[in-house]
Structure 1
Amino acid sequence: MTFFDLPDSDTLYAALVARDPSYEGRAFVGVTSTGIFCRLTCPARKPKRENCTFFGSIGECITAGFRPCKRCHPLRPATDSEPVIKTLLDALEARPDHRWYESDIADMGLDLSTVRRAFKRHFGMTFLELARLERLRRGFEIYNDGGKVIDAQLEAGFASASAFRSSTNRLLGAALGTLSKTPLLCIHWIDTPLGPMIAVADTSALHLLEFMDRKALPTEMKKLAAGANGAIGFGRTSIHDQLAEQLEAYFNGTSADFTVPLQYHGGGFAGRVWDALRRIPAGQTISYSALAKSIDQPTATRAAAKANGSNQIAILIPCHRILGADGSLTGYGGGLWRKQRLIEIEAGYAKSKRAGQP
């Protein structure tokens, strides 16, 4: 069983001709006249319909005897196919204290529109937005280590205190100085290949795991703070350590099994939906209607979709495994580009399972 139920070949051929990005990582075409396989977004001239065979995974293409295309590089991670991304990420790492502007990008001989499109496509944000997030995080590290708010502000590269407060509020839903120094709920961040994530946990369970640029994050943080009577602040617990270890294994392709204890903030129907999501094996996807049927409420598709969207523990409660009825990517709080990448990652787990590997 493939991790994505392919639509009919006519639909896939139309997607190939249109270079439809919604099938990235979920469908590939083998061209019998050349013996190569490609992404549906391949820039090469399109083959004749009778020469196309469609597959749901790279493994199936290789098993069928096709070799990877040298133009669209289906074996290469998407970001590696655009050198401008690696160039700027390396520059960001080499100059952690630099405050980046468009003029810096131009001075490197890079085209601004090309950079903007590449980062939006693969990261869901521009390079400058990514750089700002990194500055904010460094400021939080200073504050977490006992520094003052002004120290955090300067480390983050903000000349204006009001701008720093505004950015902090947009991210955490609270001013930095209002966070507890002796928190019950501890905020920590974890680096992942898809961007930094904020994890909120106490000593017994994980309460929240979100990508730092998720729009709903400030609202979710405010609710957590209210529920903890304001006892929320920076810190790290054994739950964070366990989470970081298991996320690393997940992204490395070692294991998709998560044993981190979770604390739901929502019960009843929503809790049943989240439990159902956790029962979907890595590498498989289902529709919203199938999700509703799995909890014996087949007429509650809309309610199931709403509960899916209100999930605030990303990846571990795998709401990214839900697709539209037609197999298309649908809304995801972390960005459709991340949903696509998560599905691609989990395709490897499905392939291993089919091959009988542990």
Structure 2
Amino acid sequence: MLFQKPDHDTLYDALIRRDPAHDGLHFVCVTSTRVFCRLTCSARKPKSENCIFEDTIAACLGAGFRPCKRCRPTLHHGGNDPLVAGLVEALEADPCRRWSEQDVIARGHDPSTVRRAFNRRFGMSFLEMARLRRLGSGADTLSGGESVIEAQLDAGYESGSGFRAAITRLFGTAPAGLRGQALLKADFLETPIGTMVAIADDHALHLLEFTDRPSLSSEIARLQARQKLGVMLGKIRVIEQVRDEIDRYFSGQGTDFTVRLAGHGSAFERDVWQALRDIPAGETRSYSGIAADLGRESAVRAVARANGANQIAIIIPCHRVIGADGGLTGYGGGLWRKRWLLEHERRMALSLPSTGAISVDTSASHRRHMQSLTTPEAMPSGQIKD
């Protein structure tokens, strides 16, 4: 608990009060301006819903945010190390400059010493920091509809081929493919059981997961590779619809999700995911039961794999799948969340009118089974990915 990250409200309160106790330990990323600041920054304070708090400058830069010109977080975080402070000062003065090891040597520094110092201080090398700053500027220019050459110049690249290669590595597509085209947008949703991240385009939801899911980074990487698009933080209509429907779900008003979902996965996986959506809230199924419903009794393991490949939590309710013996099995978001969601849906199903959208098995045996799932004794010690 000593090293546990404070929750969003605590950090936002610290931002409002400019609490120096968090200086250098946490940073605020402002989604409306694409800038990140120290919590003691004197700039006008953003709304809470526009704030994302990170523990490292590397995380802020990696998400595409620029350092605030007022509080200058990268320079301040350089501390008293003149090597780090001098290079950060130079980068802040010319963020689009293309730095190389020769530039570092020309300033009288040993590249390996600089690399270690920056990794120790920021979690990334100086050259990586400079590259992210430049590419972020270029990507913003492209997504705004400007020409590739203008984006190249904004990013500080003299070589067109070098710029195209760098953009392609970062976003999975050539610069021309980003011009005037909205990237996948991501935003965060607060729920009673933790923060979720939603990723969507203008038409459909691609991913909805809890942010502390261990495999989240690899899931996002697979999504980017599949769509050949980068992911940037931003507001978008589809995510706002998800936010409204998830809020409705957690407030106990029902499980009618109407947001359009992207058609990822194989034909078999999509059949399994539809079978999951067909499980009424308040009920559960086993892997073998779903296989039987699909007429594929021998495909139990394939059903389990498809269940684990689901990237849209709650809306595609993989938490409603339990073991054949009635145990909770596993859940990528954590067994405690699976237990919470099942109990929430059981109560919601019992409280809504029988003519509502949710149906529920109210037999005595089912009630005893659901009650057993919410007792500590029912929690298995292991955790298997859903």
Partner amino acid for 2:344?
Answer: I
- Is 2:194 the counterpart of 1:195? yes
Bigger CA radius of gyration: 2
CA deviation after TM superposition for structure 1 residue 186, in Å: 0.8
| Identity rate, percent | 39
- Is 1:94–2:13 an aligned residue pair? yes
Aligned residues: 234
Measure the CA separation in 1 of the matches of 2:77 and 2:293: 49
| Post-superposition offset of 1:280 | 0.8
Conserved? CA contact 1:320–1:339, under 8 Å = yes
Q: How does 1:224-243 map to 2 (within 5 A)?
A: 224-243=223-242
> Deviation per CA, 1:214-271, whole angstroms, max 9, x where unpaired?
1111111112222333432222211011000000000000121100000132122111
**One-letter amino acid matched to 1:346:** E
| Letter aligned with residue 238 of structure 1 | R
Query: CA offsets per residue over residues 51-72 of structure 1, 9 Å max, x none?
Result: xxxxxxxxxxxxxxxxxxxxxx
- Aligned counterparts, 1:1-358, within 5 A: 91-92=10-11, 94-96=13-15, 135-136=53-54, 147-148=65-66, 154=73, 162=119, 180-181=139-140, 182=143, 183-353=182-352
Q: 1:279 to 1:357 in 2, by over 3 A?
A: closer
Which has the larger displacement, 251-260 or 215-224? 215-224
TM-score (norm 2): 0.52
TM superposition shift of 1:91 = 4.7
- Please, which runs of 5 or more residues in structure 2 have no aligned partner? 23-50, 79-116, 125-131, 144-181, 358-386
Cα distance, 1:137–1:291 mapped onto 2, change above 3 Å: farther
Cα 1:134–1:331 shift into 2, 3 Å: farther
Larger relative contact order (CA 8 Å, sep ≥ 6): 1
Of 89-98 and 258-267, deviating more is 89-98
Mean CA deviation greater in 337-346 or 225-234: 225-234
Deviates more, 1:245-254 or 1:263-272: 263-272
Partner of 1:28: none
| In 1, Cα distance between equivalents of 2:217 and 2:226 | 14
The change in CA–CA distance for 1:147 and 1:269 in structure 2 (over 3 A counts) is closer
- The one-letter amino acid paired with 2:260 is P
2:372 match: none
Contact residue 185 and residue 232 of structure 2 kept, 8 A: yes
1:196 shift after superposition: 1.1
- Quickly say closer, same or farther: Cα 1:153–1:177, change in 2 above 3 A: farther
Q: Provide the alpha-carbon RMSD of the alignment.
A: 3.9
Contact 1:139–1:153 (8 Å) recurs in 2: no
Task: Name the aligned partner's letter for residue 292 of structure 1.
Answer: A
Per the alignment, residue 158 of structure 2 pairs with: none
- Structure 1 residue runs of 5 or longer lacking an equivalent are 1-84, 102-132, 167-174
- 8 Å Cα contact 1:208-1:312 kept in structure 2: yes
Partner Cα separation in structure 1 for residue 339 and residue 13 of structure 2: 29
